[in-house]
Amino acid sequence: MDLVRIARENGVVGAGGAGFPTHVKLAAKAEYFILNGAECEPLLRVDQQLIKAYAPEIISGIKKVMETVGAAKAFIAIKGKHKEAIDRVNECIDDSCMTVVLLEDFYPAGDEQVLVYEVLKRVVPEMGIPLKVGCVVMNTETVLNIYNSMSQVPVTDTYLTITGKVSKPVTLKLPIGTSVRDALNHCGVTDTRGVKVIDGGPMMGKIIGDLDDPITKTTKGLIVLDEEHMLIKRKSMPLERARRIARVACEQCRMCTDLCPRYLLGHNMQPHKMMRKVVHKYQNLEEAEIAFLCCECNLCELYACPVNITPKSVNVFYKGLLLEKGIKYIPDKTEFIPRPTRDYRKVPVKRLIQKLGLNVYDKAAPLLDLYFTPDRIRMPLKQHTGAPAIPVVSLGQLVNKGDLIGEIPENALGARVHASISGKVTAIDQFITIQS
């Protein structure tokens, strides 16, 4: 069976981002393949440890992906600071078509477009994807899932780092659909009064509203912080309030633009211009379309702005308005040249951690075999880009771990979902609940 079909059947999606269905990526043809092992979000420790622990499996997965997309060369991109992972990969590489690329420790080195430039010195055009410059990029865990799918093992578990205000930060594998509360309890966090939990990294992650929500195929981290922590306060600010504050406080210093990774790649993302718009004529959407060039990395908002206001949120606000009106951004060129200052404007992760007030939590989170099977999981039918999966089980049905429970709707972009524990189906709504 070909890899496109195998990945589709086994529900493989991009494990590190929006959950783009991997079978669609695999159906493309590309010159190069890049393994994204950058893991640039502070405090997360998944990819660097998976590369070390599963180097032969990941290399095997890369070979199969290269064969499928027709790539002549693969680059394994890892930060130079992860020496053990690099040594392990170099020990296992047995093919001259594969090279390890050492990345500097800056944020957001793992942004797909930044990564492609770091590795290939090619700029992905505005609104484009890496395929536009001949390459396919996949996250480390995605490739591990592809490797597993080659033995018909579907995606039922995810790796994540649990860190922050916890006694022992840890990285572990858990069944998808496990509640955040169960995951935290399992790692010794039993009292959640006075804390909030971020799903993902501190920069792009979102605060989890309900700890009974499940972890998904794309959950990479749970960061526990005091509810008074600056990051929690900044992330809790309602969009409308952020917009109102932005209107009165922006100094037009341009720091947000000068450090914006997409601007530095030569794109036309200029957050200070969006701030000017929100100040003077916020309902006028003329020239607001550049908001679509924002990848929401949050660097402008959580690092660059000297008065702590919210250019990223302003972009998000405008994206919403523009989408409502059906207005799109249409690039007026296809070739982009990075700004000459780019090399001096990379934000070191260490400095970012300091600015975010996270030094005290910047600790190792070892990958441990702490797998557990919860009594109950709630498997979301939508945890990927595209249409929600359609349930193919009925109430009361008994399922085994790995059984197909949600199918891709006909002719739609989507991903299958599989049972992550064995048990009885007890509810079907936007989730399939399984009780052991």
- Report the C-alpha gap between 274 and 256 in whole angstroms: 11
Of residues 82, 262, 401, 418, which one binds ligand SF4 by CB under 6 A? Answer: 262
- Report the C-alpha gap between 83 and 145 in whole angstroms: 24
Of residues 315, 383, 420, 433, which one binds ligand SF4 by CB under 6 A? Answer: 315
Of residues 211, 295, 352, 389, which one binds ligand SF4 by CB under 6 A? Answer: 295
Minimum Å distance from CB 243 to ligand SF4? 12
Compute φ and ψ for 432, nearest 5 degrees: -110, 120
Tokens of 306: 């000297």
Check binding of 88 to ligand SF4 (CB under 6 A): no
Check binding of 203 to ligand SF4 (CB under 6 A): no
Of residues 43, 58, 299, 353, which one binds ligand SF4 by CB under 6 A? Answer: 299
Minimum Å distance from CB 267 to ligand SF4? 9
Minimum Å distance from CB 264 to ligand SF4? 9
Minimum Å distance from CB 352 to ligand SF4? 12
Check binding of 302 to ligand SF4 (CB under 6 A): no
Minimum Å distance from CB 33 to ligand SF4? 25
- Report the C-alpha gap between 148 and 155 in whole angstroms: 8
- Per-residue DSSP letters for 46-77? SHHHHHHHTHHHHHHHHHHHHHHHT-SEEEEE
Which of 370, 365, 5 has the alpha carbon at shortest distance from 157? 370
Of residues 103, 260, 358, 419, which one binds ligand SF4 by CB under 6 A? Answer: 260
Are 293 and 268 in contact by the 8 Å Cβ rule? The answer is yes
Rg (CA), the chain: 21
Minimum Å distance from CB 229 to ligand SF4? 20
Of residues 45, 272, 416, 418, which one binds ligand SF4 by CB under 6 A? Answer: 272
DSSP classification of residue 304: I
Nearer to ligand SF4, 55 or 352 (CB): 352
Residue with tokens 């690099």: 86
Minimum Å distance from CB 345 to ligand SF4? 11
Q: Where are the extended beta strands (E) located within 88-246? A: 98-103, 106-107, 135-139, 157-164, 170-175, 195-199, 206-207, 221-226
Residue with tokens 């039918």: 381
Q: Which of residues 228-257 bind ligand SF4 (CB under 6 A)?
A: 250-256
- Report the C-alpha gap between 239 and 317 in whole angstroms: 7
Are 126 and 268 in contact by the 8 Å Cβ rule? The answer is yes
Using CB under 6 A, which of the segments 13-21, 96-104, 210-218, 302-310 binds ligand SF4? 302-310
Check binding of 434 to ligand SF4 (CB under 6 A): no
Q: Where are the extended beta strands (E) located within 149-283? A: 157-164, 170-175, 195-199, 206-207, 221-226
Are 288 and 295 in contact by the 8 Å Cβ rule? The answer is no
Question: Between β-strands 404-407 and 376-380, what pairing exists: parallel, antiparallel or unpaired?
Answer: unpaired
Q: Which of residues 352-381 bind ligand SF4 (CB under 6 A)?
A: none
Of residues 23, 25, 45, 312, which one binds ligand SF4 by CB under 6 A? Answer: 312
Check binding of 304 to ligand SF4 (CB under 6 A): yes
Are 179 and 211 in contact by the 8 Å Cβ rule? The answer is yes
Minimum Å distance from CB 263 to ligand SF4? 6
Under DSSP, is residue 91 helix (H, G, I), strand (E, B) or coil? Answer: helix
Minimum Å distance from CB 305 to ligand SF4? 3
Nearer to ligand SF4, 170 or 347 (CB): 347
Question: Between β-strands 390-391 and 398-399, what pairing exists: parallel, antiparallel or unpaired?
Answer: unpaired
Of residues 34, 109, 275, 379, which one binds ligand SF4 by CB under 6 A? Answer: 275
Of residues 15, 34, 71, 294, which one binds ligand SF4 by CB under 6 A? Answer: 294
Nearer to ligand SF4, 29 or 328 (CB): 328
Check binding of 300 to ligand SF4 (CB under 6 A): yes
Nearer to ligand SF4, 152 or 252 (CB): 252
Whole-number Cα distances in Å, 312 to 114, 124, 345, 412: 18, 21, 18, 31
- Report the C-alpha gap between 264 and 237 in whole angstroms: 28
Check binding of 271 to ligand SF4 (CB under 6 A): yes
Contact footprint for ligand SF4 (CB under 6 A): 250-256, 260-262, 269, 271-272, 275, 294-300, 304-305, 307, 309, 311-312, 315
